[in-house]
Amino acid sequence: MSGELAELLRAMPKVELHLHLEGTLEPEMMLRMAARNHVSLPYRTAAEAARAYRFPNLQGFLDLYALGARCLVTEEDFYELAMAYFSRCREQNIVHAEVFFDPQGHLARGVAMGTLFAGIEAARDRIFREAGMTTELVLCFERDRPAANTVELLEEACLAGEIVGIGLDSAERGNPPGKFREVFGAAAALGLHRVAHAGEEGPPAYIWEALQVLQAERVDHGVRCTEDPALVAYLAERRIPLTVCPLSNVALGVFPSLEAHNLGQLFEAGLAVTVHSDDPAYFGGYLTENLVSVLAAQQMGIREAVALQRNGIDAAFCSAERKAGLHRQLSGFLESWGIPV
């Protein structure tokens, strides 16, 4: 890749739509929080933790992700975590981020819903005040937990804080989206947006189910759609966004390499693909690193980079007014770089 394209990708105003807040917990911060909260970890140094981050598959990752999340206990912890991520966003020119969080594990450890929201919302307010960066929160349900109390949990969350929508994450195989039909119906009735991880490790049938049973508006990952041509045609025709996370897919063995990824194929098939970072503290890079490395490996250039950003803005859950502002900002940026808009 030319240095100019890498610099363009860094400087371009970007949106992040697939980012797990707990997946931004860098080893140094994890160890610091573990010490102050008296949580034991199997690592003594950040280097030891980083060395342990080799994952045979999604479950291998989820086990370490849950282990790290145990270090988050107080309002201050959630504030620091979110603020560190938003500071990264400033460095990377991420101007709008829709952030997933997984409350079920925290609640099970005795963290109150209000504690979680208080910390995260203080960080959201501060980054908006200081940098004009907009953020939204998406409450994710972990699909390998029971669906039984999820509607109550959603109601509790809506009283405690502000969310823009709900999502579905964690171990996909053996946990089809339909299990969460009721809570997704409740979210729709509350006017909330809906998104679900599907077709990362699970089959194309799970993508169909996320769309048709859960009425998901976006699909997280969705890369296995190419195994079903009728599904690819359906996604293309309706421009249903797929939030693709290349470094995650390689780290979890969904693809053997960035060169072997199907991003270029999805793009050429006319799908509304966007690129994101998933769990950057675990997978070796934030949004700019994902874009730079996957575009180079897939031999994609400026035309595709711009289209990916436009797809991302169109796919966002923020207000129509904010989306129009993001499109204007991107167009102004491209003009200033002499790139035809």
- Return the range that interacts with Zn ion (CB under 5 A); candidates 1-9, 25-33, 78-86, 275-283: 275-283
27 by DSSP, 3-state: which?
helix
Q: Please tell me the distance from the alpha carbon of residue 195 to that of residue 184, in angstroms, as a whole number.
A: 9
Q: Pick the closer one to ligand HPA by CB: 170 or 288.
A: 170
Beta carbon nearer to ligand HPA, 82 or 330: 82
Torsion sign across C-alpha atoms 80, 101, 289, 320 = negative
Question: Residue 242 in contact with residue 221, Cβ under 8 Å?
Answer: yes
Residue 16 Cβ vs Zn ion, minimum distance, rounded to whole Å: 12
Sign of CA dihedral 228, 172, 288, 292: negative
Q: How far is the CB of 167 from Zn ion (least distance, A)?
A: 8
Give the strand pairing for 134-142 and 165-169: parallel
Q: Distance between CA 235 and CA 273 in Å, rounded? A: 10
| Nearer of residues 31 and 106 to Zn ion, judged by Cβ | 106
Q: Which one of ligand HPA, Zn ion, none is in contact with 23 (Cβ closer than 5 to 8 A by kind)? A: ligand HPA
Neighbouring C-beta atoms of residue 296, cutoff 10 Å? 17
Site string for Zn ion, 277-296 (x = CB under 5 A): -x------------------
Number of residues that bind Zn ion (CB under 5 A): 1
- The whole-angstrom separation of Cα 283 and Cα 53 is 8
| Residue 223 DSSP one-character state | G
Which helix or strand (DSSP H or E) is residue 33 part of?
helix 27-37
Give the shortest CB-256-to-Zn ion separation in angstroms. 20
Residues that bind ligand HPA (CB under 6 A): 20, 23, 58, 65, 169-170, 197, 200, 248, 278-279
| Catalytic entry in 22, 26, 142, 200 | 200
Tokens of 120: 């995260």
Residue 142 is a binding residue for Zn ion (CB under 5 A): no
CB of 173 to ligand HPA, least distance (A): 11
In the complex, minimum distance from the CB of residue 248 to ligand HPA, in angstroms, rounded to a whole number: 5
200 is catalytic: yes
What span, in angstroms and rounded, lies between the C-alpha atoms of 134 and 313?
Answer: 12
- Closer Cβ to ligand HPA, 222 or 312, answer by number: 222
Which partner from the list ligand HPA, Zn ion, none does 65 bind, CB cut-off 5 to 8 Å by kind? ligand HPA
Dist. CA 55–CA 220, nearest whole Å: 20
Q: Give the residue numbers marked as catalytic.
A: 200
Query: What is the binding site for Zn ion (CB under 5 A)?
Result: 278
